[in-house]
Amino acid sequence: MQDYEHIFNQLVKDYSEQLWWHVRRMVASQEDADDILQDIYIKIWNALPSFRGESGLYTWVWRIATNETLNWLRREKVRAALRFTSLDDQLQHRIEADPFFSGTAAQRELFKAVARLPEKQRQVFVMRWWDELSYEDISAITGTSVGALKASYHIAQEKLKLNLSEVDVSK
Amino acid sequence: MTKKTDISVPEGHFQSLQTRLSTIPTREQAPRGIRKAAPYLAYAASLAALVLMGNAVLRQTAVQAQESSDWDYVSYLAQSLDPDGLVELKEADPLSDDEIVSYLLASNLSVEQVNELYYEENH
């Protein structure tokens, strides 16, 4: 257990901040990002003994984080449907009312437009644009080919351009 | 990290987060699978107990009920059921949203199907 604890603490030190930013962008809430990150690290701790080393620790940790985040979004989508609302609307509202948002109107509109993208495109866009991961890393984490990722990113960019061209960000 | 300037983070946020995360190994010693499955196992056990009880009551009353009128049969069933058990069943905690969501996700229904079912149920 001693070794695992040491590795775990190293993973917290090395990746928690980077992963938090990813989750924060995906769920648009500081509190939920904190909770989800906690769940991610509980998963990491519980799975650490079964880590076989086929992928690097970095990829493995990121894979757990992205799966956990997508699962959270999926659960929220069902919860929203039970309340006759939509997760998209909730995310838009969260971004609009986010007390920690300190950017320009244009940055807020970009954030909102990204939140409107389909789940997978949003994930790829967040990982590439904000997390600044390489396509190769994203490919290893998501198990999607580099070509398919580039296509997704391109489609996402086109949709964002279209959405943002209709928005007045002069405020 | 220049693109992250649009969101601020309270001072010391990451430090306190990392401190909290580093307590996970001491908090999470027991195998997680068993703890996670415990509520579901409890529900499954309750359901199995109810089915077995119902079956036993029906078997016991079947012979006597054959010769009785329908009304006698219903009265006998009502008397033979433990009234405390019925009260307990009525007052049992309703399922939480989390449990409903977990069940729906496990049943592989799409969000649209869930919405449709829920709508039919409530209208």
B106 lies in which domain range? 93-123
3-state secondary structure chain A: CHHHHHHHHHHHHHHHHHHHHHHHHHHCCHHHHHHHHHHHHHHHHHHHHHCCCCCCHHHHHHHHHHHHHHHHHHHHHHHHHHCCCCHHHHHHHHHHCCCCECCCHHHHHHHHHHHCCCHHHHHHHHHHHHCCCCHHHHHHHHCCCHHHHHHHHHHHHHHHHHHHHCCCCCC
Report the C-alpha gap between A124 and A145 in whole angstroms: 12
CB contact under 8 A, B111 and A77: yes
Residue A101 pairs in a beta bridge with B7
Provide the residue type at A27 as one letter: V
Contact B41, A146 (CB under 8 A): no
Asked whether residue A87 is domain-assigned, the answer is yes
Asked whether residue A92 is domain-assigned, the answer is yes
pLDDT, tens digit, 9 for 90 and up, residues A5-55 = 999 999 999 999 999 999 999 999 999 999 999 999 999 999 999 888 778
Residue ranges of chain A whose CB lies within 8 Å of a chain B CB = 1, 4-5, 8-9, 12-13, 16-17, 20-21, 24, 30, 34, 37-38, 41-42, 45-46, 74-75, 77-79, 81-82, 84, 98, 100-104, 107-108, 111, 129-130, 132
CB contact under 8 A, B6 and A17: no
Asked whether residue A171 is domain-assigned, the answer is no
A143 lies in which domain range? 2-165
Of B3, B14, B104, nearest to A129 by CB-CB distance is B3
CB contact under 8 A, A37 and B17: yes
Instruction: Name the domain count of chain A.
Output: 1
Count Cα neighbours of A60 within 13 Å in the Cβ-side half-sphere. Answer: 17
pLDDT in tens, chain B (123 residues): 446 678 999 999 999 999 999 999 998 874 454 455 566 666 677 777 777 777 777 776 665 555 556 666 556 556 666 555 555 555 566 677 777 777 777 776 666 676 666 556 555
Contact A126, B3 (CB under 8 A): no
Choose, out of A3, A24, A41, A78, the residue to mutate when testing the contact with B (most B CBs < 10 Å): A78
Asked whether the whole model's pTM tops 0.90, one would answer no
Structure-token match 């986010």, residue found: A98
B38 and B79 co-located in one domain: yes
pLDDT, tens digit, 9 for 90 and up, residues A134-160 = 999 999 999 999 999 999 999 999 999
Report the C-alpha gap between A92 and A110 in whole angstroms: 11
CA–CA distances in Å: residue A44 to residues A2, A10, A25, A74: 15, 12, 21, 20
pLDDT in the model for residue A138: 97
Instruction: Name the domain count of chain B.
Output: 2
Asked whether residue B108 is domain-assigned, the answer is yes
Asked whether residue A86 is domain-assigned, the answer is yes
Report the C-alpha gap between A37 and A21 in whole angstroms: 10
